[in-house]
Amino acid sequence: MSVGAPEAGALRAGRRQPRYLLDREGLLGPLLLMPAVVYILALVAVPFFLAIGFSLSDVTVGDPSFDYVGLRNFRAVLRDPVFLRALRNSLFITVVTMVLVLVLGKVLALVLVKDFRGKWLVRFLVLLPWTTPVSLATIAWLWLLDSLFSPIDWTLRRLGLLEGNLHWLGNDTLAMVSVIAVQVWRIVPLAAVIISAGLAAIPQDINDAAEVDGAGFWRKLFQVTIPLTAPVMAVATLFGAILVFTDLSVVYVLTRGGPVDATQTLPTWAFFRGIQGGDLAQGAAVALFLFPVLLAMAVLILRAVRRMETM
């Protein structure tokens, strides 16, 4: 022991050396959290409070000096018929998209949890829209929906279902259909993957029990599978709805909000007002309307998920 004693002493002394600093949780914890905090402060908190500041001012691109004007911008925005249309469109697109996404995502998820030959290829193809940058994918859709050379129209003509062209993006209803279709196309893979993770988490015993108990496909789907995946479906809805509700690229690339504001949404209107129109203050006021809607949606869905999970 006489040999070991000095070494132990050295070890105790070493504890105070800088290389043990990282062993202290009080220091290591904040250090590891720092990047995330900096990121959120710089890219979320600062723009958010800047937007609140702008919305209460008369800042424009031409006159960036800050003058407080109270709620004038909000009053102006609420009187603007284009804004009301954009708000209505945003809600409509989000709701219709999410209903379709849930149904199609569930169907795809049911396919993806089955074992079959070439499953990896199907899974790869399903995920492809999700991995493609939104703006690039939307440009591809822009070509697919071209007023003269649309391959969709061409196919319909060849099948004898159509004469001439549909002018997908030139007609109010079809433009809305196009926007929703592209949104569904890009959100479904995410929903399918989230829901299939939920499906895979259902114990095999429960599926077997439902089989033995005599449940057919539909009964099993509506009485066992859907109730048990409801929490993940709610989470998928929340993610998808936020992505659709805040999306600028699809509408901007496809229709620029047209024809005549028929597909105008809150993000595009905020962008046209604030950036292209130069009225930063009003643009900020428009964009801030996203916040209470998203907050309410998130609170409602997350609360429902918690309730389902403590059942």
**Interacting residue with another protein among 32, 46, 140, 206 (CB under 8 A):** 206
213 binds another protein (CB under 8 A): yes
Find out whether the peptide bond into 227 is cis, omega within 30 degrees of 0: no
Are residues 230 and 224 in contact, defined by beta-carbon separation less than 8 angstroms?
no
**Nearest C-alpha neighbor of 173 from the set 109, 259, 100, 67:** 259
* Nearest-approach distance from CB 217 to another protein, in angstroms: 11
CB-CB contact of 232 with 145 (8 Å): no
* Residue 109: CB minimum distance to another protein, A: 18
Retrieve residue 257's tokens: 């909000």
Burial track 166-191 (b if 16+ CB lie within 10 A, e otherwise): bbbbeeeebbbbbbbbbbbbbbbbbb
Please give the angle made by the CA atoms of 139, 145 and 149, to the nearest 5 degrees: 105
Kindly tell me which residue out of 200, 211, 260, 291 binds another protein, with binding defined by CB under 8 A: 211
- 4 contributes a contact to another protein by CB under 8 A: no
Q: Give min distance, CB of 224 to another protein, in A.
A: 6
148 binds another protein (CB under 8 A): no
# chain residues binding another protein, by CB under 8 A = 19
Which of these segments, 13-21, 37-45, 223-231, 292-300, binds another protein (CB under 8 A)? 223-231
Beta bridge partners of 57: 68
Among 227, 298, 302, 307, binds another protein (CB under 8 A): 227
Q: At what angle do helices 119-131 and 172-200 cross, to 10 degrees?
A: 130
Whole-number CA gyration radius for the chain: 27
Q: Which of 142, 221, 224, 294 binds another protein (CB under 8 A)?
A: 224
- Specify the residue, 68 or 120, whose C-beta has the smaller distance to another protein: 120
Please pick, from the candidates 3, 4, 212, 292, the single residue that binds another protein as defined by CB under 8 A: 212
Contact between 216 and another protein per CB under 8 A: yes
Q: Is 57 helix (H, G, I), strand (E, B) or coil?
A: strand
Residue 82 · residue 264 · CB < 8 Å: yes
3-class DSSP state of 259: coil
Q: Which two tokens stand for residue 301?
A: 């869905």
Half-sphere exposure in the Cβ direction for 86 (13 Å, CA): 32
Q: Of the ranges 16-24, 116-124, 209-217, 238-246, which one interacts with another protein (CB under 8 A)? A: 209-217
C-beta of 160 vs 216, nearer to another protein: 216
Nearest distance from C-beta of residue 213 to another protein, angstroms: 4
Using rule CB under 8 A, residue 38 touches another protein: no
Our finding on whether 311 is near another protein (CB under 8 A) is yes
**Of these, 228, 242, 248, 297, which contacts another protein (CB under 8 A)?**
228
Least distance from another protein to the Cβ atom of residue 124, Å = 23
Identity of the residue, 105 or 231, whose beta carbon is nearer to another protein in the bound complex: 231
Q: Is 63 in the site for another protein (CB under 8 A)?
A: no
- In the three-class reduction of DSSP (H, G, I as helix; E, B as strand; rest coil), residue 257 is classed as coil
Residue ranges in contact with another protein by CB under 8 A: 203, 205-206, 208-216, 219, 223-224, 227-228, 308, 311
